[in-house]
Amino acid sequence: MQRTLRVDSRLRLVSFQLNLRRMSTRNHLEGLNKQQRLAVEFPPNNSLQILAGPGTGKTRVLTSRIAELVLRHSHPPESICAVTFTRKASIEMKARVREYLGVESANQLRLGTFHSVCTSYLRAYGPWVKLDPEFSIWSKTDSTLLLKYIAEGLCKGLSRKISMNKLYNLFAQAKEKARLDPCRRPEDILEASINFQVLAKSGSSDDGDPLDSLGYISEIYSGYSQVLTKSNALDFTDLLIKGLDLFQLRAKPKEIGRLKHILVDEFQDTNGIQYLILKELFKAAQGSISVVGDPDQSIYGWRGAGMSMHVFLKVDLPETKDICLEQNYRSTSAILDFSLSVISQDTTRPQKTLFTLQTPVGPNPAKKALATEDVEYTSIAHEIKRLIENSDGILGHDDCAILVRTKFIATRITPVLEAAGIPFRVLPERSLIDLPEIKTLIAFLRMIMKTSDTPMIIRTLVGPLGADKEAVTTLLHRSIEQKNILFHTLERLQNGTDPDTTPSSIGPVTTLIRLRMHLKTRLDMGATPSELLRDAIKQTDYYTYLKKKHALQYEHCIQNVQRVLQHARIFPNNMDSSPASRVYAFLNFMRDLSRAKIKTGKVTLLTCHAAKGLEWPVVFVPKVIEGVFPHAKSLVDDVETEIAQERRLLYVACTRSQSLLYMTRPETIFEGRNADKRQIEVDESRFTKTIPLELHDKQFSDISKGDLQLFKDILKRNSKDDAPLQA
């Protein structure tokens, strides 16, 4: 009998593998180089660290390894957990895995960001950590809106002195540190780390004593935490902490215990909380983990990530094997040599290199000094025009990127591009759902689904319903005092059971409660997201509100609203699912709409941090001077770890380029403002000053026919019409 069962299980396994191969459309091993294949075929029951330099095909290796685990080693797809750092990366990975395994098997993988993986487990097992599985997830925008109203209720004008974004980040860091050190509370960490200069808004002037402002920080944190708890809501930090709580339970859910292999993308970006999550996951998988990362691209130390995570992995799993991916498929040999000359200045880094089989080597990167910043930016604009005019139709505006150290530098460059008639875009662009007129529109839907969604209640009240902001602030603080959610406080106000009535808010509050009741009734009767949105627009006279609120951009706002309504109208409504499920599906769809258009015909401006993971044929890096590379903040204490991170950031910027790389710098800059403004000389960045002369040109060079042919080969194009966009 036992032998029969073994035979049956083997037959089922063979059938499963054959079905997968029939559904796949691509061989996962095809086209891999020797080192890539070594990483993909590495035994699955061991720990593997893949050190992948820029442009070496790490995503291909990671997805091929997933296919290898399923097809060759018979791991059920649901037993594999793959973690990425961005939604974009997870979407790209899932698309590639579908080619190898088919749609059904790819969808069974636990593949997503740290936050989405934690969310999926908490939805299923929330009660195990005293969490209602119907919890809401509040974005940073939601949380900062809430923080603003809590701050104003404690001290009028406080939100004009303190940056709510910085305050949100401070709270996140305090919660993470407290979770890593159970002997400390977030409140204690806040008291020890609060610094007004860090929290102050850029350019703000505080008329009072900064210490007075700091005294409210703990109260803001207390109120914020209470609203989250009462609303059954988690911010992004809470999501990771609750996920870690679940994974660290001694008696774990069986589903976690069934994990066979963990994979991690961009491992060098892992912070302390995220590493502990991974540690629990690979413990469940008996130490079977594959991480892909590059210590040379570790640039997020300010949010807790660092090269030390590679060391921690070796301590926890001493048998971890290293495999280096060094063959670059992105850049010319000249760009790689220049980039390696930058990063090799760090003698403590793991010794690895980059090479390409592309020939010839390509033009040397340009390293040019200009008299002033204005001359520098004008030269960049002229060079972009010259390249496009002389590239035989191969290059266009959308093939060029300008990577800046800070957003402020971008604001200095954009007027120059405008004057030169060069089309451009500044990333990250706001997605449709992030526009003010759309945020409020979406708030109608979220308010219907959950009365505990306090940020959406606030947005609706002070938006089209016209409630006074001070009155809403008062009501929010009253709800905190009553240990209640805001909506219940509004109901008490409408019912006359609240003795401390705010007369100016009664009308908008009554309208809100009636509107919510009306829309909820329509939802229960089967109304689609499109019908609910149109009804909300009509009930609130939304277009009139937009005309008053956004008079100068009214037509543009209307166009954006119409775009959302169009998306809602054509959104596939599965009539077999509940009306509420259809609304949630539409909200997720809106969130996932691409931020950046694929084909723009514009030069791209963005920070070096934001450029990580992207590539362009032509890259300009301006203002490569001391105080920028490395940034002035890293020079205050002259801490080598911070300076090394600045060096890695410049390396990341260099390795975004496929064909042409330009490093420019001004010899003088203006310092101070107005009457105190003066011109001073500045030094070239220490990171580029020592690069050998043979690796760069001091002027912008002409492009030869041989160079053009090389560009065609690298970019895989014959004419501009064939150009694929990478950004």
User: Any idea what the CATH number is for the domain that residue 495 is in?
Assistant: 1.10.486.10
Q: 619 has which bridge partners?
A: 401, 661
Q: Are residues 646 and 702 in the same domain?
A: yes
From CA 505, how far away is CA 513, in angstroms rounded? Answer: 12
* 441 and 307 part of one domain: no
pLDDT grade, residue 302 (50/70/90)? Answer: low
Render pLDDT for 483-495 as a digit per residue (tens, 0 to 9). 999 999 999 988 8
Query: Is 55 inside a domain boundary?
Result: yes
20: pLDDT confidence band, cut at 50, 70 and 90? low
Mean pLDDT in residue range 716-724: 57
pLDDT score for 719: 55
pLDDT-based confidence at residue 725 (cuts at 50, 70, 90): very low
When pLDDT is cut at 50, 70 and 90, the band that residue 160 belongs to is confident
369 is in an annotated binding site: no
Residue 309 reports pLDDT greater than 90? no
Residues 6+ apart with CB under 8 A from 362: 332, 333, 334, 335, 659, 707, 710
**Domain end among 231, 263, 280:** 231
Find the helix packing angle between 164-180 and 140-154, rounded to 10°: 100
- 85, two tokens: 């750092």
pLDDT computed for residue 11 by the predictor? 45
| Claim to verify: residue 690 and residue 562 sit in the same structural domain | no
Residues 314 and 384 in one domain: no
Looking at the fold, whether 614 and 654 belong to one and the same domain comes out as yes
Are 171 and 267 in contact, with CB atoms under 8 Å apart? no
Q: In the predicted model, what is the mean pLDDT of residues 223-248?
A: 97
Total domains in the fold of the chain: 4
Is position 57 annotated in a ligand binding site? yes
State the Cα–Cα distance between residues 266 and 307, nearest whole angstrom.
11
- Band of the pLDDT at 305, cuts 50, 70, 90? low
Q: What percent of the chain has pLDDT over 70?
A: 89
> How far is the C-alpha of 88 from the C-alpha of 597, rounded, in Å?
13
Asked if pLDDT for residue 15 goes beyond 70, the answer is no
pLDDT of residue 372: 96
| 350 annotated ligand binder | no
Asked if residue 592 belongs to a domain, the reply is: no
- Is it the case that residue 13 has pLDDT exceeding 60? no
Mean pLDDT of 659-672: 93
Q: What is the pLDDT of residues 457-480, one digit of tens each?
A: 999 999 999 999 999 999 999 999
Same domain, 116 and 265: yes
**pLDDT (0 to 100) of residue 188:** 83
The yes-or-no verdict on residue 239 having pLDDT over 80 is yes
Domain at 272, CATH number: 3.40.50.300
Instruction: State mean pLDDT over 250-272.
Output: 94
Identify whether 466 is part of a domain: yes
Within a domain: 240: no
Length of the chain: 727
407 and 500 assigned to the same domain: no
The answer to whether residues 226 and 252 belong to one domain is no
Residue 155 belongs to what domain range?
136-231
Q: Is 58 annotated as a binding residue?
A: yes
* 54 is annotated as contributing to ligand binding: yes
What are the tens digits of pLDDT across the range 582-613? Answer: 999 999 899 877 554 556 799 999 999 999 99
**Residue (of 273, 277, 267) closest to 304 by Cα position:** 273
272 is in an annotated binding site: no
Please spell the DSSP secondary structure of 83-143, one letter per residue.
EESSHHHHHHHHHHHHHHH-HHHHHHSEEEEHHHHHHHHHHHHGGGGT--TT-EE--HHHH
**293 is an annotated ligand-binding site residue:** no
Query: Residue 713 — pLDDT band, cuts 50, 70, 90?
Result: confident
Residue type, 20: L
**Is residue 286 domain-shared with residue 196, that is, in the same domain?**
no
**Averaged pLDDT, 442-451:** 95
User: Does 187 map to a domain?
Assistant: yes
Query: Is the pLDDT assigned to residue 192 strictly greater than 80?
Result: no
491: in domain: yes
Last residue of a domain, one of 202, 231, 260: 231
Which of 317-326, 561-570, 672-681 is predicted with the least confidence, judged by mean pLDDT? 672-681
Among the ranges 198-212, 445-459, 630-644, 708-722, which has the highest mean pLDDT value? 445-459
Of residues 393 and 123, more confidence is placed in 123
Last residue of a domain, one of 542, 562, 585: 585
d(C-alpha 189, C-alpha 306), whole Å: 21
Residue 17, pLDDT score:
53
Chain segment 51-101, per-residue pLDDT in tens = 999 999 999 999 999 999 999 999 999 999 999 998 889 999 999 999 999
Q: E strand or H helix at 48, and its extent?
A: strand 47-52
HSE value, Cβ hemisphere, 13 Å, CA-based, for 223: 26
Q: Is residue 237 part of a domain?
A: no
How confident is residue 304, by pLDDT bands cut at 50, 70 and 90?
A: low
How many whole angstroms separate alpha carbon 508 and alpha carbon 465? 5
Asked if the model's pLDDT at residue 377 lies above 80, the reply is yes
Task: Identify the band that residue 158 occupies on the pLDDT scale cut at 50, 70 and 90.
Answer: confident
Binning pLDDT at 50, 70 and 90, where does residue 429 land? confident
Name the helix (H) or strand (E) containing 670: strand 668-671
Are residues 19 and 112 located together in one domain of the fold?
yes
Pair 712, 629 in one domain? yes
* 89 in any annotated domain: yes
Looking at the fold, whether 20 and 155 belong to one and the same domain comes out as no
Query: Rounded mean pLDDT of the chain?
Result: 89
67-81, 347-361, 415-429: least confidently modelled range: 347-361
